[in-house]
Each structure stands twice: as structure tokens, then as C-alpha cells.
Amino acid sequence: MRLHKEHPAILALCQADSRLAQLIHLIGERTLTPSAFPYESLAMSIISQQLSAKAAATIKARVKLVIPAFTPELVLAADETAIRACGVSFPKIRYIRDLSTKIISGEVNLDRLHELDNAELLKQLTSVKGIGVWTAEMFMIFALGRSDVMAIGDAGLQRAARWLHQLEERKDCNYLGQIAPVWAPYRSFASLYLWRAVDLGYVDSGLPVEECQIAENR
């Protein structure tokens, strides 16, 4: 999915929030590519928890060598010691096995994910050991490509939201609560731009988005 300036969702976001429109113009096109293999994506997201991107990529590549065809049945049949040797902790191995067991039993039905609304899907995913709200939300955005997920618990998003609208400090740190409602039903897409603003250093610069834009054009 290409999120460009003529995309209906981007047009709607720009109309709803002028500051977000400035950020979108500054950053340009973004892409979101849903996964064709949701089970593997969810299992790998468990493996990636609390790891740097580089470390996670290395460990996931090793796991795929041990279990080339990544299915619930083959994960359950795999030798735990061999998976541990890839760098996956025993707790994470238990979480992946719990996910696999729940999928095989039908308690978690990945074939019907698109039939569930966000709240129902979140409840089903977080029934798996090791999958918290944030992991489930990231899966919903990046693996399923859902357009209207708002990860309130993501500290980076909260920080970026405060920066974007130059908001006063709040005790609850819920800056998204102030501004994100106007982004519906495209809050996932808005989040992509906020995360990119963090990655590019705009948020840490402290400069308002309009000044970042001026600096980029010099």
C-alpha cells in the first residue's frame, strides 16, 4: 500500500489536521505492506520483543534455518534446545508454543482475523502468553495493514504527538488522546508519519514542524 499525497486516506488526514498535513508533506510517501503469513509474523514479533532491530533480525534468520517451513505444527515439533541455540529465550519459546497450540485448537483463528473488529481481535491476540496490547497493535498495523489502530501505549508516538502540536506537558502523558480522535479512521497511517518523524530526528530537534520544513528546504 502506497500512502502518497493523492491517497484518499492521506487527503482525509491532511484535511483533518493541518499540522499533520505539514508533516506528511515534509516526509513524503510511506508504504505499508501487510504480511502474507500472519502466523509467522506474530511468532517473529514475539521473538523480537525487547531486542534491537539488528539482534532480532539475526535471531529470526537463525530460527528460519532451524524451522524453514514456519507452521504451528512444525514449531511444536521442533527441538526447544535447537531454538534456544538460535538466541531465543526459553520464555519466548513457551510463548510461541502457546500461540501455536491456540492456533491448532482454534482458540486463535488467523484465517478469520479480518472478520473481527479491532477490540475483538485485540482480545483474542492478548489471550496468548507473551502477547501484550502493544505487540498485538503492532501486528494489527504492520502485518494486517489495519488502517485505524491507535497505540496509546507507544511512548514514541506520544512524544511525537506532543511535538507535532507543541502541547503542554501532561501528567498522564496521553498527548494522543488530545489530537488523535480527528485522525480516525486512519490513525494507523498517521502513526507511520509520527514514527518516521522520530526516526528522522525531527521530534528530538524540538523545532516545530514548520521550522523543520524550512530547514529541509535550505
Q: Is 154 a catalytic residue?
A: yes
The C-alpha cell at 37 is 503469513
Spot the catalytic one: 111, 117, 148, 154: 154
Dihedral pair phi/psi, residue 30, rounded to 5°: -125, 160
Paired residues of 31 in beta bridges: 2
Contact 214, 38 (CB under 8 A): no
The sign one gets for the Cα dihedral 173, 178, 193, 126 is positive
Distance from C-alpha of 42 to C-alpha of 48, rounded to nearest angstrom: 10
Paired residues of 2 in beta bridges: 31
Active site residues: 154
